[in-house]
Amino acid sequence: MPELPEVEVTRLGVSPHVKGLKITNAIVHDGRLRWPVPKNLKKILLGQMVHDVRRRGKYLLFVLDDGHLLIHLGMTGVLRVIDVAEPPKPHDRVEILFGDVALRLNDPRKFGAVLWVPFSDGEIENHPLLAKLGVEPLSKEFSETRAPQVLYSHARGKTVAVKQWLLSGSAVVGVGNIYCSESLFEAGIHPQMQAGRLTLPKAKRLADAIRAVLRKAIRKGGSSLRDFVNAQGEPGHFMMHTHVYDRAGLPCHVCGSTIKQIVQGQRSTYLDRKSTRLNSSHRCISYAVFCLKK
């Protein structure tokens, strides 16, 4: 599933091609997505200008004259900038045209979304799909000074494993399974530790790791596990740089121990074979393996 880095990479790739342009057409090839695409989408969008392309969590927000066009890539969606003459492909769902340029959403599994939210509905931040999202990890609200307290305060009293807590997106948004794995590894926090045991020092390490991992993933173009490509059709390369994720059976980059895969909440977790116990005394105690930094 495209996570925050992949959506941000898409935003960065799309924005220069559409910002400041007026929509000349909208074509709905198949509107049966997670929520039905508005049947009158063409009528709604025709002639409106794109003033900005924003992101909230994994949602793209196209700011138009009269409202927001909200797009979610779902599990397998790709939003590409193409020439309008390029023939439609299987699983193409929606096209937004800007003269000779088109944005085309291809979504094989139909879990994506293309929704219209008029300004008359109120602030977009209060939309039901956005209102309960956590803090943006690359925002001022999650800065080096604020982020530790954000995580520490939200984790108080939580008995769920820290991995599941992070994945929920209720404290900080966009830390999907890959980036959760890498962040916990970098912070030296065991994925099975209760979230409520997150101390302020651990919260600081985790916040620093989250920002660093996400920024690195964006620089590398995101992660292309299966279908993801950017707006120009190019795959991301972050998976070539992971320390722990998807490395079962391989040696730890830090201590050389073999990485073992377990399952938490139907998601893969990777631990060192010597560190499968939560309170292991072995120095590698986190996702895949973590070696305490001296």
- Which of 3, 6, 8, 182 is the catalytic position? 3
Residue 235 known to be catalytic:
no
- Which of 2, 5, 137, 148 is the catalytic position? 2
Residue 123 known to be catalytic:
no
Residue 283 known to be catalytic:
no
- Which of 19, 42, 110, 267 is the catalytic position? 267
- 3-state SS string over the chain? CCCHHHHHHHHHHHHHHHCCCECCEEEECCCCCCCCCCCCHHHHHCCCECCEEEEECCEEEEECCCEEEEEECCCCCEEEEEECCCCCCCCEEEEEEECCEEEEEECCCCCCEEEEEEHHHCCHHHCCCCCCCCECCCCHHHCCCCHHHHHHHHHCCCCCEHHHHHHCCCCECCCCHHHHHHHHHHHCCCCCCEHHHCCHHHHHHHHHHHHHHHHHHHHCCCCCCCCCCCCCCCCCCHHHHCCCCCCCCCECCCCCCEEEEEEECCEEEEEECCCCCCCCCCCECCECCCECCC
Residue 267 known to be catalytic:
yes
- Which of 11, 56, 58, 283 is the catalytic position? 58
Active site residues: 2-3, 58, 267
